[in-house]
Amino acid sequence: MFLHQESSAPDVRKIIHCDCDCFYAAVEMRDNPALAELPLAVGGQPDRRGVIATCNYVARRYGVRSAMSSAQAVQRCPGLLILPPSMDKYRAASRTILAIYRDYTPLVQPLSLDEAYLDVTDSPHCRGSATLMAEEIRTRIRQEVGITASAGVGPNKFIAKIASGWNKPDGLYVVRPQDADGFVAALPVGKLHGVGRVTAARLERLGIKTCGDLRSWSKLDLQQTFGAFGLRLHSLCRGEDERPVSPDLPRKSISVETTYDVDLATPEACQAALAELLPLLTQRIARAAAGPLVHKAFVKIKFDNFRQTTVETVHGEVTPAVFGELLDTGWQRHRRPVRLLGAGVRLVEAGDTAQLGLFGEPPAPVA
């Protein structure tokens, strides 16, 4: 744990990012302590094309990760115990966690059942110290819910989220405004949101290993090399993030995507990969109880030259034939090997029907 007093300058925001450690698995281990020493995951079964929602840290030592197929997870860890999700238990824990967050500020933006941003800039609690509030929140989650949480404190959402993973599990890390520039400059580029293994490897081939290295590239050069994502890279490597904490932000879409270590060279390879994504998409829609809200289907493709295209159509179901046609249309636009493939649905506006709330959200990737 890393604690110190943050700046109290009035123009500096105080953002906490808090999320529980291996949330679903943590609830299961809380209810059955005998599971704590076993490699444990929560998700679908391998013989039904299941996917891992989360796993404990014992399983992670074997290379098991969230969003991995259950079949692959069992190959990596033959003794892995996979439990089906118990959503009622997780939602009950989530309600308590969200209530704790809201005791400190009304500016709470949930990202999943256990994860949220909190803007505590104007909060009077703990003498206005975001550091002390984050520690108190973690203590209350341990006492009232029976699981551990990690938190990060920073001057914006981007830095707070990076910080929350710095001392996982059961940790706290604080980045003061005066330390933010140096903290971000030293970050490996792989820590930036949207930079996966393939992009990180490409950046390293270009001599870019840290955000400090990335800062030597102009905005124009980054845009020419990485397209629209280059503009995002230009901002993130400088620690710039003006996004506000938005309470009860309505969900607009649900999607899944994968960046492949080896490019998908043919349309047939793309269609086979799409067939593996669709069951996961269906599962996430079901967990979000969002079936009645679906009104469009879309496929996203990023080619080996980093050009990207998205094709969508009005459609209310996850139908392999429809998604297959969207994929074919998108692939024909550039007819090149594919490095990233995604599939998703867009939801009707909140004003048109019941809004999706926190307790219908599917889990985010667990840190």
Tell me the catalytic residues: 115
CB-based contacts of 205: which residues, under 8 Å, 6+ apart? none
114 burial (CB, 10 Å; 0-12 / 13-18 / 19+) is buried
Q: Report cis status (omega within 30 of 0) of the bond before 169.
A: yes
- Check the CA dihedral 99-104-106-111 and report its sign: negative
C-beta neighbour count of 193 within 10 angstroms? 10
Between CA 188 and CA 23 the distance in angstroms is 26
C-beta neighbour count of 274 within 10 angstroms? 23
Between CA 155 and CA 112 the distance in angstroms is 22
Closest CA to 343 of 312, 366, 316: 312
Cβ–Cβ under 8 Å, residues 346 and 326? no
Beta strands in the chain (DSSP E): 15-20, 40-43, 52-55, 81-83, 108-110, 116-119, 149-154, 172-174, 253-264, 294-303, 308-314, 338-347
Q: Which amino acid is at 12?
A: V
Q: Which amino acid is at 204?
A: E
Between CA 353 and CA 219 the distance in angstroms is 41
Q: Which residue do the tokens 């938005």 mark?
A: 246
Q: Of how many residues is the chain composed?
A: 367
Between CA 155 and CA 241 the distance in angstroms is 9
